């Protein structure tokens, strides 16, 4: 049996909710807006010529809710959809009441490979990105039929997952419908494409260095401070929305003043949290102490994390691994505590600031073990 992945796809690669099934942002039925009789003839023909459907759990549930009670439309197609053998891939689904449905669980790749050994024609996979990812990894797809719709949806699930292995395909057919929809048919290609331009346009070492120099102009060494309010959710629920909003506005005014006092750049507020950037670690730390004192005056506690490293200055703010490290370090802080990396400890040695070792820890998403310290002053 030949396994074919077929999908309605937007120009930005989204396959979620081409019909009236639910889209997370309400952007459903985008495919139906373009559908013409010509498109429908192709879609019906594809379904009518299939011997079986292979579906992910979510796609199967959508179809199982629609087709058994559908009375309007092509009766031949409705009958086919309800009678054709359907295999639904799921390790959690306990019942499959839709007619002629079989649940597949466990070793999915082995079960699908076994199905393909059976005599017959086409087994179609509709949508089902998680299932497609599994089939891709095990080389089980024989053909792709992608109907590309002239719409950029902006959000939703994509057919192919991010960071999957590279797969080369060979185009076997293309067709343009009057609706503007384009059918592209591909088969897997075991050969890696290699043309003369692959060699002619390879970057030289000098070109790579030139690009790096151009990109690095926006990279600078800076100290990043993250701080947030401790138990903000609990406090907000006790105070009520109006009083909490007023307190939060008061806190943000204090934060802006403290960051400005220590010559920092107030980069971002996010709810009850703040990120600021400084040109010296001592200024960032003194600002953090000021934020903790100011929060106590307002009747609550804050915590802070500080790290020095390279950041990328962008039009919308700053980024880079140093930002992530500072945020993760703050997550290790207790109420009214400032936690810093070893980098900060080493840079401010010789000042009136002292540091208490808190041991090594892992920072989510950051490689390696990190030594962290609690920052203190001689009078604290």
Neighbours of 91 (CB within 10 A): 10
Token reading at 129: 């990105």
Specify burial of residue 116 (Cβ count, 10 A radius: 0-12, 13-18, 19+).
middle
Place of tokens 């692959």: 198
Give the CA count within 13 Å in the CB-facing half-sphere of 179: 21
Q: For 49-82, what is each residue's pLDDT tens digit?
A: 999 999 999 999 999 999 999 999 999 999 999 9
**β-bridge pairing 169-176 and 273-278:** unpaired
Closest CA to 354 of 379, 380, 377, 329: 377
Residues 113, 18, 138, CA angle at the centre, nearest 5°?
Answer: 20
Token reading at 92: 């959690």
- With a threshold of 0.85, does the pTM exceed it? no
Give the integer Cα–Cα distance in Å for 120 and 110: 18
The beta strand positions in 153-263, using DSSP E, are: 169-176, 182-188, 219-229
pLDDT score for 136: 95
Give the integer Cα–Cα distance in Å for 226 and 324: 10
Strand, helix or coil for residue 219: strand
Give the bridge partners for 374, in sequence order. Answer: 339, 356
Torsion region of 72: left, alpha or beta (phi above 0 gives left; psi -120 to 50 gives alpha): beta
* Structural domains of the chain sorted by starting position, each given as residue range(s) with its CATH number in brackets: 2-188 (3.40.430.10), 219-377 (3.30.70.1230)
Give pLDDT tens digits along the chain (380 positions). 999 999 999 999 999 999 998 888 889 999 999 999 999 999 999 999 999 999 999 999 999 999 999 999 999 999 999 999 999 999 999 899 999 999 999 999 999 999 999 878 899 999 899 999 999 999 999 999 999 999 999 999 999 998 889 999 999 999 999 999 999 999 999 889 988 999 899 999 999 999 887 766 678 899 999 999 998 888 888 888 888 888 888 988 999 999 999 999 877 788 788 899 999 999 999 999 999 999 999 889 999 999 999 888 777 778 888 999 999 999 999 999 999 999 999 998 878 899 999 999 988 888 889 999 999 986 66
Give the integer Cα–Cα distance in Å for 5 and 15: 12
Contact 80, 112 (CB under 8 A): no
Say how many Å lie between the first and final Cα of the chain, rounded.
74
Give the bridge partners for 148, in sequence order. Answer: 9, 182
Give the integer Cα–Cα distance in Å for 164 and 144: 17
Neighbours of 374 (CB within 10 A): 16
Give the integer Cα–Cα distance in Å for 171 and 187: 7
């Amino acid at each position: 049996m030949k396994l074919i992945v077929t999908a309605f796809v937007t120009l930005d690669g989204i396959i979620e909710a081409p019909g009236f099934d639910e889209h997370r942002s309400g952007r459903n039925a985008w495919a139906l807006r373009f559908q013409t009789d010509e498109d429908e003839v192709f879609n019906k023909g594809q379904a009518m010529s299939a011997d079986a459907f292979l579906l992910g759990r979510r796609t199967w549930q959508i179809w199982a809710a629609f087709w058994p009670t559908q009375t309007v439309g092509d009766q031949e197609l409705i009958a086919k959809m309800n009678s054709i053998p359907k295999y639904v891939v799921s390790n959690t689904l306990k019942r499959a009441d839709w007619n002629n449905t079989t649940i597949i669980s466990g070793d999915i790749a082995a079960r699908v490979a076994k199905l393909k050994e059976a005599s017959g024609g086409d087994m179609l996979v509709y949508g089902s990105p998680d299932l497609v990812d599994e089939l891709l990894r095990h080389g089980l797809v024989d053909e792709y039929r992608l109907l590309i719709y002239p719409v950029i949806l902006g959000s939703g699930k994509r057919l192919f997952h991010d960071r999957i292995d590279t797969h080369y395909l060979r185009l076997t057919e293309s067709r343009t419908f009057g609706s503007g929809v384009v059918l592209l048919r591909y088969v897997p290609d075991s050969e890696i494409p290699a043309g003369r331009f692959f060699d002619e346009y390879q970057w030289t070492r000098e070109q790579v260095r030139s690009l790096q120099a151009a990109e690095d102009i926006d990279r600078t060494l800076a100290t990043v401070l993250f701080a947030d309010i401790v138990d903000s959710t609990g406090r907000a629920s006790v105070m009520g929305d109006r009083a909490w909003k007023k307190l939060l506005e008061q806190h943000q005014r204090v934060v802006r003043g403290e960051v400005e006092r220590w010559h920092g750049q107030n980069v971002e507020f996010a709810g009850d949290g703040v990120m600021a950037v400084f040109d010296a670690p001592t200024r960032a730390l003194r600002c953090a102490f000021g934020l903790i004192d100011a929060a106590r005056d307002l009747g609550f506690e804050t915590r802070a994390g500080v790290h020095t490293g390279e950041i990328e200055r962008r039009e919308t703010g700053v980024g880079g691994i140093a930002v992530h490290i500072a945020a993760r370090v703050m997550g290790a802080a207790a109420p009214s505590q400032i936690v810093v990396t070893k980098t900060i400890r080493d840079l401010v040695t010789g000042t009136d600031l002292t540091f208490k070792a808190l041991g090594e820890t892992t920072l989510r998403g950051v490689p390696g073990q990190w030594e962290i310290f609690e920052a203190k002053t001689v009078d604290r």
